[in-house]
Structures are given as structure tokens and as C-alpha cells.
Amino acid sequence: MTTALRRLRNYIDGEFRDAADGRTTEVVNPATGEPYATAPLSGAPDVDAAMAAAEAAFPAWRDLIPAERQKVLLKIADRFEERAEELIAAESENCGKPIALVRSEEIPPMVDQIRFFAGAARMLEGRSAGEYMDGFTSIIRREPVGVCAQVAPWNYPMMMAVWKFAPALAAGNAVVIKPSDTTPASTVLIAEIIGGVLDELGHSRGVFNVICGDRETGRLMVEHKVPAMASITGSVRAGMQVAESASKDLKRVHLELGGKAPVVVFEDTDIAKAVEDIATAGYFNAGQDCTAATRVLVQESIHDEFVAALAKAASETKTGAIDDEDVLYGPLNNANQLAQVKGFIERLPAHAKIEAGGEQVGEKGYFFAPTVVSGLKQDDEIVQNEVFGPVITVQSFADEKQAVEWANGVEYALASSVWTKDHARAMRMSKALDFGCVWINTHIPLVAEMPHGGFKKSGYGKDLSAYGFDDYTRIKHVMTSLDG
């Protein structure tokens, strides 16, 4: 007897719809490796319909006074709280994430972030008006850019959807968002919540649309003539493709791509505390985080002690079922990702040593053991490239100069951390590290008020904060004559 698969649908102009040609893809629960739902595999007609709905809804949404858009976002935040258990269930099934951690680590910050951008809606600041030429006054208008095509990733599908739609809607834009083809369930539920709020408060539901599909669907969205801006969180390859596609008609592009965060540990560090925090920041969400603490550089005088402690912490870290409150993380998101992580381990050079883990866990699903690899060199593949799994690498450095050189010696530049009791050293390192974020004696905390975004191949543009809000606006200069 075959269990019927749940049917997910696109959300376009306030209606749930199948793909125009009826095509679907299966959605797999990574904890079991079995499909549990189908989702539309959207094509050009579906993208056209969503863009037309957003384009039609945009003028009225743009022209609302900011306080009215704030009301909508605050109501959305309230609904997220009221329907938290539904969101948790959708995200846990879709991603294999532990229920308790989604409840404690994702729902509260998401709600807070929506409320932050609700407030930002009323802070459309520009430089002061003034006379910069005799007889004329200049003023600055900050306006929404228009329709935004947004592509969210599979590692945090709910939270990354919030990071995209909340600033865009707050600034007065209309949205068409595509979740990853492996994780559409929670975004479809978000569409139901937002659509209900828009309808309740008397606004067009076409302001927010969800299109399910694959890379081709995303390409069609980015290349469509309607959007004024394309925003993606994803791989470097995907970001480059989006930038290239968007360049054809000079769309704005907002890219949050991969990371290879250095974790620089100096000899004066409290080793026990550092290991505890780094293990958590490296293995949380199965290491599927572009800021994860997975590339550790340890001063040579404490290297052996640190590696032994980290291997012990890895052996005590648990992965498993979504309803087990003792687990730190669940499975990798999909079969391809599991194969990628395995490949990095299989291709390790002879001088590398697996101190803990290194293998798949369980007979079903995509679980991988907490892993520590030591003995690595700066040019090793696993040091240079993003694994995106529960694998922490360790290198030994001699001095501060070498630590900076190796920390910066990758193509990514999203996040980093420094572990030391020496304040002056921490300040020198925070200046020298070429990353969009530098944590000191911690790794991975984020707040809505501070920006998140990187340099180099980690992309450009900021999420969260007033900077992230500004990315969804454009600046207009208005000049008026004073002589009547």
C-alpha cells in the first residue's frame, strides 16, 4: 500500500495553483530518504503569471504610507508566532531538523527580524534637504526598486525567506520568491500566512508570490523583464549565473553566497570553552551554514591539546531523529549533498588524519557523523573549498602573521572569528581579517540590527540591518527652484 504524497502548489496572486503544464517534482524527507510530497516544477507561464501579479500589485503597495506597511509586517510576525507549530513541523519534515531546535533557534529570531523590518519601514532616511546652488533646494527621495525576484536556499528555507521578503516588503516592493526544489514546504505555508494577512488588511495578495521549481525556474525569474532586482542566497556558481543573467538588462543583484569561515585560536585561549563553542558552531544544522565554524586555525603550542579536546567533543555530539531533544543536528539536506561530503573525506590527502567521525550514520536518511580532520595544509581541497557538512578541519599556525595569511587565503570572505584574551591582538586581527563579519571569542550569533554579508566570492549586498533594508531601495534627487 502506497501512502499518497502531499500536494504543494505555487501561490500566485492570492491563489494556490499547480504548474501550468502540470509538471511536478518529488520532495524528500532527508531523515528517511523517502518522498512525502510533490511540488510544481514551474515553467515560463507560471513565472509570467507571478511576475504579472506582482507588477500589478506593486503601485498600490509602493504608495502606502510606511505605517500601513508596518501594520502588515507586524501582523505577519504575530501570525508566525500563532502558527509556530505548523511552521516548525513543515521545516522539520522538509529539512530533517530537530523539532526542539527549530522551535528555540529559528522561530524567535524570524519573528524578531520581521518586527525589525516593520520598524525599518518607517525609517526611509536620506541626507537632509538643503540649498547647494543659489536659488534651488535639493531633497532626497528613497523609493522601493519595484518587483523583486528572490531565490532562497535549502539550508534555512524559512529563515532565508524571511531575510528576503521582510526588507523587500517593508521598503515597498512586491515579491516573487522561489524556495529550493528540495525544501518548498515551509515557504508555501508562509505564502498562506502572508496572503491571509494581506487579505485581512485589505491589500492585494499579489504583493507576495511563491513559485516552486528548479534551477531553470530560477533562471526564468532572473531573466524576466519585470523584476528590477534579483536576490539569491546560494552557491558561488549559482550567484555567478544570476549575476550574468541579470547583467543582460542591468537588474540590481543581491548575492549571499558561500563561506569558508576561519576560526583563529591563539594559545592564550580558554581551550575548553573555545572547543565547546566551536563544536556547536561547526556542527549546528549539520554544518550546512555558510558561516559555520568549520575551518579552525590553532596556534602550534596548543594544537595537540585542542585537537584532542575537539575530537572528544565531536564524539559526544549527537545527530538523529527530529523528535530526539538530545541531538544537535539532523541529516544533510539531500542525497547530492551527502555525496559531496563523502567525496571530500574520500579524497583526503595522505597527510590528513581523521580524528573523529568521517562516515555516514544510520541505514536510512542522509546523516553524517560529526567529523574532525587534522594534519592539513593550506592548499588542500578540503581547506580551500566549502564542504557544507559536519566536518571541522584543523591547521596549525606559528604566529599572528601566518594566521592572517592562511585565514585570508581562500576565495570566500563571509565570516570569521578570533579567540584570544589579548584585546590588542583581537583588534589587530579584526582589522586584518578580510571577511564581512569578525566575531571575537564567539562564533555564529546574529542580530537583526547588524548586517550579514561578505566580500570576494561570498557575494555582495547585506542581509538584516538598516543596510539590508537600504539594498531594497533606490535614491532619487529632486531639485526645485525657489523663484516661484
Decide if 482 is inside a domain: no
Chain segment 405-425, per-residue pLDDT in tens: 999 999 999 999 999 999 999
- 88 and 153 both lie in a single domain: yes
Query: How much is the pLDDT for 484?
Result: 74
Decide if 484 is inside a domain: no
- 277 and 356 both lie in a single domain: yes
Chain segment 116-125, per-residue pLDDT in tens: 999 999 987 7
- 117 and 52 both lie in a single domain: yes
Query: How much is the pLDDT for 125?
Result: 77
Query: How much is the pLDDT for 2?
Result: 53
Chain segment 287-304, per-residue pLDDT in tens: 999 999 999 999 999 999
Chain segment 184-204, per-residue pLDDT in tens: 999 999 999 999 999 999 999
Query: How much is the pLDDT for 380?
Result: 98
Q: Which of 126-130, 149-153, 222-226 has the lowest mean pLDDT?
A: 126-130
- 147 and 78 both lie in a single domain: yes
Most distant pair of Cα atoms in the chain: their distance = 83
**Has residue 398 got a pLDDT over 70?**
yes
pTM for the model: 0.96
What backbone phi and psi angles, to 5 degrees, belong to 91? -70, -40
CATH number, domain of 350, equals: 3.40.309.10
Mean pLDDT for the chain?
Answer: 96
- 401 and 472 both lie in a single domain: no
For residue 127, name the pLDDT band (cuts at 50, 70, 90): confident
- 186 and 284 both lie in a single domain: no
pLDDT over 90, % of the chain:
97
Decide if 483 is inside a domain: no
Cβ atoms of 349 and 380 within 8 Å: the answer is yes
**Has residue 28 got a pLDDT over 70?**
yes
Query: How much is the pLDDT for 1?
Result: 42
- 148 and 243 both lie in a single domain: yes
Rounded average pLDDT over 449-458: 97
- 243 and 328 both lie in a single domain: no
Query: Would you please indicate which residues are annotated as catalytic (active-site) residues?
Result: 256, 290
Decide if 126 is inside a domain: yes
For residue 141, name the pLDDT band (cuts at 50, 70, 90): very high
**Has residue 126 got a pLDDT over 80?**
no
Query: How much is the pLDDT for 37?
Result: 97
- 138 and 246 both lie in a single domain: yes
Rounded average pLDDT over 121-134: 87
User: What's the structural domain count of the chain?
Assistant: 2
- 291 and 231 both lie in a single domain: no
Which domain range does residue 163 map to? 6-257+458-477
